[in-house]
Structure 1
Amino acid sequence: MLQDIRLAIIVNPELPPGHLANTIAAISIGIGSAMPDLGNRQLTDSRENTIDISSNRPVPILQADSQTIGALLLRALPKEERRIVVPFPAFARSMHSYADYEGQFPERDLSAETIDGIGLAGASKWVKSLTGSLKLLR
């Protein structure tokens, strides 16, 4: 099922370090919950210490400005089967509970919002077509 799956997280490198880390973490949780086979495994070492794995494939963190990320989101939508699209709109940062975010979301238009980051998971060809020209976050 996951043979041809590629991942990418794209974030705005101008975010402060704490916001950058939070954006990447939140997007990662969204991708993982939408496609649990990416990490839903455990490994046991020679001393019988068992851990939950982080990911069974690379997760490149790419960079783009918020305008490029917004355009990328619109190209990735509408979401199709076996394609994961997890945006992090900037307005989410001002919410102090998920209930507030969920309540406000239907009133928002993502095409008019600043998007701080986006996570993509899907067929390699699709993800590459959207991210092929982006650089790694440094």
Structure 2
Amino acid sequence: MTQDLRLAIVVNPDLPLGLIANTAGAIAIGLGARLPALAARQLTDRHDRTIDISSNQPVPVLQADAAAIRALLLKALAQPDEGPGERAVVPFPAFARSLHAYAEYEAAFPGRDLGEEAIDGLGLAGPAKWVKSLTGSLRLLR
């Protein structure tokens, strides 16, 4: 699957720098957990020091405002999946920042409507054609 795999993380550039970094980091963990083929490897140097790799694919960090990210999320979720493990859709809803434990987020999530929530960031991974169709018009975060 990694031959045709493409990744993208989209964040709201209006967030403070620390929140941008936190959002991108949290999304990256979600992408890696959903698709372990992205990074579940180790490499060893000539002195026998072994590391865990960060990613075996480029990870562009793109920018869009919260409304555009929400629309992108809804569009990605509306498209039919092409099979198990083929795609990852990892949003970072803004309301998650006000919760201090994952259990709180898990409990609150079913009562929320992603179509009405501000979305600070979104991670996508899957077939290159699918990811490009969703993110091709977005600019890199600078």
Aligned to 2:63: 63
Given candidates 93, 105, 130, the residue that maps to 1:126 is 130
Q: How far apart, in 1, do the equivalents of 2:57 and 2:113 lie?
A: 33
Please say if 1:114 is aligned against 2:118: yes
Aligned to 2:89: 85
* Cα RMSD, aligned residues only: 0.8
- Report deviation, 1:2: 1.8
Q: Counterpart of 1:105 in structure 2: which amino acid?
A: F
| TM-score, structure 2 normalization | 0.95
3-state SS of 1:72 partner? helix
- Report deviation, 1:51: 0.4
Aligned to 1:6: 6
Task: For residues 13-47 of structure 1, give each alpha carbon's deviation from its aligned partner in whole angstroms, at most 9, with x where no partner exists.
Answer: 01001111110000000000000010000001111
The share of aligned pairs that are identical, in percent, is: 66
Q: How far apart, in 2, do the equivalents of 1:37 and 1:128 lie?
A: 20
Gaps of 5+ in 2: none
| Ranges of 4+ aligned residues in structure 1 off by more than 6 Å | none
| TM-score, structure 1 normalization | 0.98
Please say if 1:94 is aligned against 2:111: no
Aligned to 1:23: 23
Q: How far apart, in 2, do the equivalents of 1:105 and 1:11 lie?
A: 20
3-state SS of 2:115 partner? helix
Q: How far apart, in 1, do the equivalents of 2:136 and 2:37 lie?
A: 24
Aligned to 1:47: 47
3-state SS of 1:110 partner? coil
Q: How far apart, in 1, do the equivalents of 2:7 and 2:101 lie?
A: 27
